[in-house]
């Protein structure tokens, strides 16, 4: 459904992604793991053209963008409209209420009927457990609540693919669970998701496939049972050991 | 005559003259100074917004023209700008009264300064807000107008209010190109009462002060209202 071929990204003379190929099948959840600075965020941002790759083909079956050539702005916008993104730092619109945040995309971009969108938005809020917060402003919410609104906002445009960049890493430990629960529900509902995360246990539970990247390449990929419980590559083993035994 | 004057520590204050002059000066303030300020500020804000948007854009030649405009206005005295426009228009065969001439000069001046304020507040909106707009499918324009500008304008309200209050006082320079506003009226009254001219100027200062004081109260109200979207 969604695929990446020969993706390359350089910042100055720092080659962050060397050559990435990946495929995301409909309804699958892919977890991306890797050490800090390995290029996880950059990869995810390349998937919806927030970062413009130097080379490579990114896209859905019916809309592919080849970054080796000059790309039209409209083509990028088209690509972005097919995926929803959830940020580490939420990035809610502070000047709009919770409900307005969620309705903004469907109403302003997709030009859909306001009344229908409103009903859908309230349903989405119900799904993330924040129906009673619809008229509040983002600053009146906790981090976990803001992130759940962030998820609802991304879902509202009815994307084919949901992208998550460490959605819980800015949260206090006691708030992580509520966000992970919402994500697990989405996985169960059959959403196609790519999730960058440091939550190994969570990845193990919800991912259909785990990708471990380091040094700009995919070091290892496969079912979570293989990659996480029984890694073949030494770099993966070291990374997992470090993250599971932080005091060693 | 002495009975109508107030004596304070040896200084004789011409009370009656000040009372007589208060209304004529205030009326010029209300009739000329305040509209001059409002109209110039309004046009200036439009110029400022356009200038700021061009300067953050990537439209090269246009960007340079606006950069030069801002630099020239900021690098020259307002009084000189006023004189140049006053004498330039007839050269270009444009006949305009002093009042609209002053509006042109003040609008261009406030436009340049306010564009810097607006530009800085646009740049102060976190990059994540642009990205949030893009990820829900918005174009650059849409993100700018729906996401960035509402936040930026809110940030720029306090400095823009300061510009506005500053402009009230700067309009006194219009007296130099023969606009009979608050200050020129005081000069005219002072000219017929040369012995007491200082008291007329003190009166003028007092009236400016009242106007600015009222405006600063309004500024506080406005800022309080806008605060409800942000954590303090
Ligand atoms: N906009 C940018 N300009 C220059 N260098 C960048 C930029 N964004 C990322 N980098 C560099 O690219 C590399 C990968 O960064 P990236 O944020 O993708 O890593 P990450 O795997 O997400 O790390 P973390 O786990 O800390 O979030 C780093 O060396 C970083 O310094
Ligand atoms: Mg990252």
Summarised one tens digit per residue, pLDDT across range A96-138 is 999 999 999 999 999 999 999 999 999 999 999 999 999 999 9
Mutation for A interface: B121, B133, B137, most A CBs within 10 A:
B137
Mean pLDDT of chain B: 92
- The Cα–Cα gap between A160 and A190 comes to 11
Structure tokens that stand for A239 in this block: 């990374």
Residue B224 has pLDDT above 90, yes or no: no
pLDDT at B232: 40
Sign of the CA dihedral with B191 first, then B195, B201, and B206 last: negative
Q: How far is the CA of A18 from the centre of ligand 1 (A)?
A: 14
Chain A residues at the B interface, defined by Cβ less than 8 Å, are 48, 50, 73, 77, 80-81, 83-85, 87, 89, 91-95, 104-105, 108-110, 137, 139, 153-154, 156-157
Q: How sure is the predictor about A229, in pLDDT bands with cuts at 50, 70 and 90?
A: confident
**Residue A156, φ and ψ in degrees, nearest 5:** -60, -30
Q: Is B226 on the interface with A (CB under 8 A)?
A: no
CB atoms within 10 A of CB B129: 19
* Class at the top of the CATH hierarchy for domain A2-244: alpha beta
> Would you list the domain boundaries of chain B?
6-227
**A67-101 per-position pLDDT tens digit:** 999 999 899 999 999 999 999 999 999 999 999 99
Q: Is the CB of A197 under 6 A from ligand 1?
A: no
pLDDT of residue B227: 75
| Token pair belonging to A66 | 């080849």
Is A214 in contact with A226 (CB distance < 8 Å)? no
Query: pLDDT at position A44, please?
Result: 96
Q: In the prediction, which pLDDT does B3 show?
A: 55
Task: Tell me the average pLDDT across B199-206.
Answer: 95
**Cα A36 to ligand 2 centroid, rounded to whole Å:** 7
Between CA B40 and CA B167 the distance in angstroms is 9
The predicted-structure confidence for B35-54, as pLDDT tens digits, reads as follows: 999 999 999 999 999 999 99
pLDDT, residue A60, reads 93
Whether B4 shows a pLDDT value over 50: the answer reads: yes
In this predicted structure, the answer to whether residue A55 has a pLDDT above a threshold of 50 is yes
Taking the Cβ of residue B10 and every Cβ of chain A, the question of whether any pair is shorter than 8 Å is answered with no
Average pLDDT over residues B144-172: 95
In sequence order, which residues have a C-beta less than 8 Å from that of residue B19 and are 6 or more positions away? none
Closest residue, chain A, to B230 (C-alpha): A139
Is domain B6-227 given the CATH code 3.30.1330.200 in the classification?
no
Q: What DSSP line would sit under A100-159, residue for residue? A: HHHHHIIIIIS---HHHHHHHHHHHHHHTT-GGGTTS-GGGS-HHHHHHHHHHHHHHT--
Compute the distance between CA of residue B74 and CA of residue B189 in angstroms, rounded to an integer.
34
Report the gap between the CA of A231 and the closest CA in chain B (Å).
Answer: 34
ipTM rounded to 2 decimals:
0.93
Give the pairing of strands A29-33 and A209-214. parallel
Q: What number of residues does chain B have?
A: 232
| pLDDT (0 to 100) of residue B8 | 76
| Ligand positioned closest to the Cα atom of A198 | 1
Q: Which residues pair with A17 in a beta bridge?
A: A9
Is the pLDDT at B208 greater than 90, yes or no? Answer: yes
Query: Which residues of chain A have a CB within 8 Å of the CB of B136?
Result: 84, 104-105, 109, 153-154, 156-157
pLDDT in tens, A14-41: 999 999 999 999 999 999 999 999 999 9
Confidence tier at B223 by pLDDT (50, 70, 90): confident
- What pLDDT, on a 0 to 100 scale, did the predictor assign at position B1? 46
The reply to whether residue A153 touches residue B136, judged by beta carbons under 8 angstroms, is yes
Which of the four pLDDT bands, split at 50, 70 and 90, describes residue B230?
low
Task: Kindly list the domain boundaries of chain A, sorted by start residue.
Answer: 2-244
pLDDT tens track for B110-156: 999 999 999 999 999 999 999 999 999 999 999 999 999 999 999 99
Instruction: Choose which residue among A10, A12, A14, A164 to substitute to test ligand 1 binding: the one with the highest number of ligand atoms within 8 A of its C-beta.
Output: A14
What pLDDT was estimated at residue B105?
A: 97
**What is the whole-number distance in angstroms between the Cα of residue A23 and the centre of ligand 2?**
20
Q: What band does B104 get if pLDDT is binned at 50, 70 and 90?
A: very high
> pLDDT digits over A134-171, tens only?
999 999 999 999 999 999 999 999 999 999 999 999 99
Work out the average pLDDT over B203-208.
Answer: 96
Which has more confidence, B8 or B175? B175
Give the pLDDT of residue B225.
Answer: 84
Q: What is the pLDDT of residue A65?
A: 93
Per residue, the 3-state secondary structure of chain B, as one string, reads CHHHCEEECCEEECHHHHHHHHHHHHHHHHHHHHHHHHHHHHHHHHHHHHHHHHHHCCCHHHHHHHHHHHHHHHCCCHHHHHHHHHHHHHHCCCCCCHHHHHHHHHHHHHHHHHHHHHHHHHHHCCHHHHHHHHHCCCCHHHHHHHHHHHHHHHHHHHHHHHHHHHHHHHHHHHHHHCCCCHHHHHHHHHHCCHHHHHHHHHHHHHHHHHHHHHHHHHHHHHHHHHHHHCCC
pLDDT band at B10 (very low <50, low <70, confident <90, very high): confident
> Which residues make Cβ contacts (< 8 Å) with residue A203, sequence separation at least 6?
A31, A33, A195, A197, A210, A224, A228
Residue B27, pLDDT score:
93
Instruction: Report the predicted TM-score, pTM, of the whole model to 2 decimal places.
Output: 0.89
CB A19 within 8 A of CB A218: no
The whole-number average pLDDT for the span B148-165 is 94
Cβ-contact B151, A139 below 8 angstroms: no
């Amino acid at each position: 459904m969604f695929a990446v071929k020969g993706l390359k990204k350089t910042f100055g003379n720092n080659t962050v992604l060397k050559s990435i190929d990946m495929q995301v099948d409909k309804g699958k959840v892919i977890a991306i793991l890797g050490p800090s600075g390995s290029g996880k965020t950059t990869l995810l941002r390349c998937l919806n053209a927030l970062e413009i790759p130097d080379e490579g083909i990114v896209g859905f079956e019916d809309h592919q963008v080849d970054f080796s050539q000059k790309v039209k702005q409209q083509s990028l916008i088209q690509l972005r409209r097919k995926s929803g993104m959830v940020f580490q730092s939420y990035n809610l619109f502070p000047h709009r209420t919770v409900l307005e945040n969620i309705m903004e995309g469907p109403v302003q971009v997709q030009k859909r009927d306001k009344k229908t969108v409103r009903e859908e938005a309230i349903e989405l809020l119900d799904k993330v457990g924040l129906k009673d917060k619809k008229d509040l402003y983002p600053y009146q919410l906790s981090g976990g609540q803001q992130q759940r609104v962030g998820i609802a906002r991304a879902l509202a445009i009815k994307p084919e693919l949901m992208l998550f960049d460490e959605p819980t890493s800015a949260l206090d430990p006691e708030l992580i669970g509520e966000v992970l629960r919402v994500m697990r529900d989405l996985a169960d509902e059959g959403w196609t998701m790519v999730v960058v995360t440091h939550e190994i246990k969570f990845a193990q539970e919800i991912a259909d496939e785990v990708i471990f990247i380091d040094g700009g390449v995919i070091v290892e990929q496969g079912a979570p049972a293989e990659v996480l419980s029984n890694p073949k590559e030494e770099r993966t083993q070291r990374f997992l050991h470090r993250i599971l035994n932080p005091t060693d | 005559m002495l009975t109508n004057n107030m004596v304070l520590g040896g200084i004789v204050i011409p009370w009656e003259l000040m009372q007589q002059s208060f209304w004529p000066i205030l009326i010029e303030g209300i009739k000329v100074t305040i509209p001059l300020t409002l109209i110039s500020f309004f046009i200036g804000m439009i110029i400022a917004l356009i200038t700021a948007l061009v300067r953050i854009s990537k439209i090269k030649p246009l960007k340079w023209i606006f950069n030069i405009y801002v630099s020239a206005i900021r690098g020259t005295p307002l009084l000189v700008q006023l004189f140049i426009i006053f004498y330039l228009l007839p050269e270009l065969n444009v006949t305009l009264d002093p009042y609209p001439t002053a509006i042109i000069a003040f609008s261009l001046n406030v436009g340049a300064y306010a564009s810097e304020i607006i530009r800085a507040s646009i740049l102060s909106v976190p990059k994540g807000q642009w990205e949030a707009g893009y990820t829900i499918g918005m174009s650059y324009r849409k993100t700018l107008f729906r996401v960035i500008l509402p936040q930026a304008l809110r940030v720029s309200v306090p400095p823009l209010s300061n510009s506005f209050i500053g402009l009230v006082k700067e309009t006194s320079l219009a007296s130099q190109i023969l606009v009979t506003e608050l200050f020129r009226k005081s000069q005219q009254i002072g000219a017929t009462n040369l012995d007491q001219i200082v008291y007329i100027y003190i009166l003028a200062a007092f009236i400016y002060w009242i106007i600015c004081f009222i405006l600063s109260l309004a500024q506080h109200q406005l800022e309080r209202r806008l605060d409800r979207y942000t954590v303090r």
